[in-house]
């Protein structure tokens, strides 16, 4: 089954570099423009999408509604596809976290796939709950879009790589998070016989999504 995971459009917290986690922040004006662009992209490109699912958080659900209207499809909510619970780090920037919670940050960097965010989830836990939603959806006749979040996409990519974050398009390098997963990015996965595989990012005009 072809599976297209999409990161939601921009929010004000994205613009300011604030960690949202499961805090429910809606799309800003730019995010709505990005969602409209995505809708046009899927409507004009030969993607045979048959189903649309979304995280319950408003920034993802709003993005999904744009796609649904463009493709004439209803949007179904998957609670397991919501963003990582970032615990005590939600509402803070990476710089604030590095400055005020340096010990926890350094410990997390050593093994971010298995180490929970303080008071929150690890990427492994996120991947496990996301997979619990994806596996029952498998149907080769129903190419599927799921609008979700950057960390969910990153966690699933790492799961496909045996828990490695090193070669992800958005990855941790040195002592900081290097994010190359822009708002409204699209990643193509396949789901066959219960096995999830990352195929490639879908090329779009990334300049529009920065």
Give the start-to-end residue ranges of the domains of the chain: 2-209
* pLDDT value of residue 174: 39
Average pLDDT over residues 124-142: 97
Instruction: Considering the domain delimited by 2-209, tell me its CATH architecture.
Output: 3-Layer(aba) Sandwich (3.40)
* pLDDT value of residue 47: 74
Average pLDDT over residues 88-113: 94
What 3 state SS string does the chain have? CEEEEEECCCEHHHHHCECCCCCCCCECHHHHHHHHHHHHHHHHCCCCCCEEEECCCHHHHHHHHHHHHHHCCCEEECHHHCCCCCHHHCCCEHHHHHHHCHHHHHHHHHCCCCCCCCCCCCHHHHHHHHHHHHHHHCCCCCCEEEEECHHHHHHHHHHHCCCCCCCCCCEEECCEEECCCCCCCEEEEEEECCEEEEEEECCCCHHHHC
Average pLDDT over residues 58-62: 98
Task: Give the residue numbers marked as catalytic.
Answer: 8, 83
* pLDDT value of residue 162: 86
Range with the lowest mean pLDDT among 88-102, 128-142, 160-174? Answer: 160-174
* pLDDT value of residue 205: 63
Q: How far is it, in rounded angstroms, from Cα 111 to Cα 41? A: 37
DSSP β-ladder status, 171-173 and 176-178: antiparallel
The pLDDT tens digits of the residues spanning 2-36 come to 999 999 999 999 999 999 999 999 999 999 999 99
φ/ψ of residue 6, rounded to 5? -120, 130
Best CA proximity match to 18, nearest among 120, 121, 89, 112: 89
Rounded to two decimals, the pTM is: 0.92
Average pLDDT, the chain: 90
Average pLDDT over residues 99-127: 95
Taking a C-beta distance cutoff of 8 angstroms, is the pair 30, 203 a contact?
no
pLDDT band at 101 (very low <50, low <70, confident <90, very high): very high
Taking a C-beta distance cutoff of 8 angstroms, is the pair 20, 14 a contact?
yes
Best CA proximity match to 38, nearest among 47, 25, 26: 47
CB atoms within 10 A of CB 152: 24
- The tokens describing 98, both together, are 């590095």
Q: How far is it, in rounded angstroms, from Cα 101 to Cα 116? A: 14
pLDDT band at 173 (very low <50, low <70, confident <90, very high): very low
* pLDDT value of residue 170: 53
């Amino acid at each position: 089954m072809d599976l297209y995971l999409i990161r939601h459009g921009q929010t004000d917290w994205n613009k300011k570099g604030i960690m949202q986690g499961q805090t429910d922040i809606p799309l800003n004006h730019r995010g709505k423009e990005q969602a409209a662009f995505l809708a046009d992209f899927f409507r004009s490109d030969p993607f045979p999408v048959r189903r649309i699912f979304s995280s319950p958080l408003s920034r993802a659900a709003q993005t999904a509604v744009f796609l649904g209207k463009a493709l004439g499809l209803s949007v179904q909510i998957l609670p397991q596809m919501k963003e990582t619970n970032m615990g005590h780090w939600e509402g803070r920037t990476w710089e604030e976290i590095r400055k005020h919670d340096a010990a926890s940050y350094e410990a997390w960097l050593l093994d971010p796939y298995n180490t929970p965010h303080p008071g929150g989830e690890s990427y492994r836990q996120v991947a496990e709950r996301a997979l619990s939603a994806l596996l029952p959806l498998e149907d080769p006749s129903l190419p599927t879009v799921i609008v979700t979040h950057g960390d969910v996409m990153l966690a699933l990519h790492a799961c496909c790589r045996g828990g490695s974050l090193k070669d992800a398009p958005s990855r941790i390098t040195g002592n900081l998070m290097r994010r190359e997963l822009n708002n409204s990015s699209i990643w193509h996965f396949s789901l066959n016989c219960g096995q999830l595989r990352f195929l490639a990012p879908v090329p779009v005009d990334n300049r529009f999504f920065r």
